[in-house]
Structure 1
Amino acid sequence: MADKITLAYGGGGEETNKLINELFYKHFNNDILTSAEDAAVVNANGKIAFTTDSFTVSPLFFNGGNIGKLAIAGTCNDLAMMGAKPEYISCGFMIEEGLDFETLEKIVKTMSEELSKVGAKIVCGDTKVVPAGSVDKIFINTSGIGHIKKENISAHNLKKGDVILVSRDIGKHGSVIMAHRYNVETTAQSDCKLLWDEVNALIEAGIDIKALRDATRGGLSAVLNEWANASDVGIEIEEDKVPVSDEVTGLCEIFGFEPMDLANEGAFIVAVSQNDAKKAEELLKKFNSNASIIGTVTDGNRVVLKSPWGSSRYIELPKGELLPRIC
């Protein structure tokens, strides 16, 4: 295999076959993929969730992960947020001519490691190699399928009295990408990770889950506003209950961002019935000690942040270009 990816690797001939057999089949090996048909044939009996996503993060490698880890976690987490266990994934690579083969292999190896954690498989894929300058090193497109383990999880389910929880401290991924982008040293690590284990624990415990959402682009602010609009409810959040690390607070002070607006890739928001709130919090704390009840569903159609000093303000949807290419 050459040291760098050339246009020949996307030409469909000998080089393409080498790339597929010596890299992708090596790390994504399973009978469905290696049958090398034009489409994967999978077992889809019962209700399934189906999602698609694309990943263009810059830089490709960051504290706590890389574009490959992000692609698998992001796709699997979207399925998990619908109560579905991730099972089958498609993967399309758009590779810039001249990318180091070593870089590509590191990304693919990371994807394989993440897949093994959740038991999912890449069952079909595509590779395109484009001239230098057409993409920035590598873009990845995915789709994912998973069988639904718990039905009726929806942003339209919230009712007055329901309780809102967050699975961990917020803003890690967005702040880490900012720091890398602007060459600011930080010890912070992206929260990028698979979330199925936490979601499955809630399901197995019989928690009355109303809604789930991973707080990616737009962060906590976006999720809460989307839920308030979808269910036509108000949401009140206790500011001092929202967990934010010192590293994220410091980076937000440097760049002038709000932690609640920053992207997360390993944190989710969950709405549960009032009776199950404490139990849900206890379960989530087993995975991350920062998990917390942060608010309640109320009347109205606005999201309100209440300070410890008795004042309050509206939380709006983030506006403008916060930080492009974070995922």
Structure 2
Amino acid sequence: MPLRDTHVTLAHGGGGQAMRDLIEEVFAPVFGSETAEDQARVTHPSLAEPGARLAITTDGYTVSPLEFPGGDIGKIAVCGTVNDLAVGGARPLWLSAAFIIEEGAEIALLSRIARSMRMEAEVAGVAIVTGDTKVVERGKGDGVFVSVTGVGVIAPGRDLAARLIRPGDVAIVNGPLGDHGAAILAARGELALSADIRSDCAALGHLMEAALEAAPGIRAARDATRGGLAAALNEMALAAGVGVALDEGAIPVRPEVQGMCEILGLDPLYLANEGTLVLFVPEDQSGDALSAMRARPEGAGAAIIGRAVAERPGMVTMNTAFGGSRIVDMPLGEQLPRIC
């Protein structure tokens, strides 16, 4: 029976015909009928390689607004999960998606989110193989929440971990910082800001594979999401027992983002990103890693921003443009809630 409703009702989560209609009209045409099964049965040649390991990650996604310049909650859900796998050295392969939908949500919005997820999955080279849908009462779900579990395969002999970072290793980011946080802030319209800023939301699996092929000695990588680059680097410094020294002049930030931060008293180092990673690589392989990253669109703005040092283990410091130095602390909380 064709779906005639324009908005989600509690009946769409009741397990009956209304729910079947919603799934068949909105999700099955986009993700494929196999996602209607309660489990996915998958196989891949890489699983047969001696020493290959499975990598599994899971995350929940909540963003306001649900659609924004450069993306939507569906795009974030796919890219964020893919990136969590990729920065650990895994090749992302499969995703499972669960939707928590608030009564009253627009069916057309759900369709756009689903199509966005399919498009990003195709770009990232992953398959959405199973899923689930639940509906909650009006006022208890804030639109749509998405939870995604990702599975990938780590090639034999590959081991990326922050504990492996050594003094002298070079820190590289793949592009400008803070685009996502700034785009969400502008999209909310609460501060009457006029800025043409798009989220950096992107899947980074192909970028990581290119970097690892060019520089197999990469020690570790993190995606700089909530808490921004500052949180990612502090976590890595603590895990490795090294200091991290940054060069403020080398850190890429778009003028629009920098201007917004100056107006609002924010720091781009702490703004969320959804398509930005930082990696540490031995100095003798840093040029190869940088070139490989810059050869891909997701890494066109890649830059060396600092290095690991023996001094001040567990701390991140930055040499400022004025010739001084300051500590880049771990953030106490989010500068902006409901960001991803």
d(CA) in 1 for partners of 2:167, 2:263: 38
Long gaps (5+) in structure 2: none
Q: CA deviation at 1:22?
A: 2.0
Q: Deviations over 1:222-278 (max 9, x none)?
A: 111111100000110000000000011011112211000001000100100110111
Q: Which runs of 4+ in 1 moved over 6 A?
A: none
Q: Deviations over 1:118-177 (max 9, x none)?
A: 221111211111110011011001110001136210111110111000000100001111
- Aligned amino acid, residue 179 of structure 1: A
Map 1:156-175 onto structure 2 (within 5 A): 156-175=163-182
The aligned counterpart of 1:277 is 286
Q: CA deviation at 1:30?
A: 6.1
**RMSD (Å) for aligned C-alpha atoms:** 1.4
Partners of 2:161 and 2:219 within 8 A in 1: yes
Q: Deviations over 1:4-44 (max 9, x none)?
A: 1111110001111112222211101164x25x2x3222237
- Whether 1:26 aligns to 2:32 is no
Give the alignment's TM-score, normalised by structure 1: 0.96
- Whether 1:290 aligns to 2:301 is yes
1:48 is matched with which residue: 44, 54, 74? 54
Aligned residues: 324
The aligned counterpart of 2:196 is 187
Give the alignment's TM-score, normalised by structure 2: 0.92
Partners of 2:60 and 2:148 within 8 A in 1: yes
d(CA) in 2 for partners of 1:208, 1:320: 33
d(CA) in 1 for partners of 2:244, 2:130: 41
- Aligned amino acid, residue 6 of structure 2: D
Q: Deviations over 1:264-303 (max 9, x none)?
A: 0001001001101111112222234321001111013121
- Aligned amino acid, residue 265 of structure 1: E
- Whether 1:96 aligns to 2:109 is no
- Whether 1:11 aligns to 2:14 is yes
Map 1:116-265 onto structure 2 (within 5 A): 116-149=122-155, 151-181=158-188, 182=190, 183-265=192-274
- Whether 1:59 aligns to 2:65 is yes
The aligned counterpart of 1:313 is 326
d(CA) in 2 for partners of 1:69, 1:191: 11
Partners of 2:74 and 2:116 within 8 A in 1: yes
The aligned counterpart of 1:323 is 336
d(CA) in 2 for partners of 1:325, 1:308: 32
- Aligned amino acid, residue 329 of structure 2: E
Partners of 2:78 and 2:117 within 8 A in 1: yes
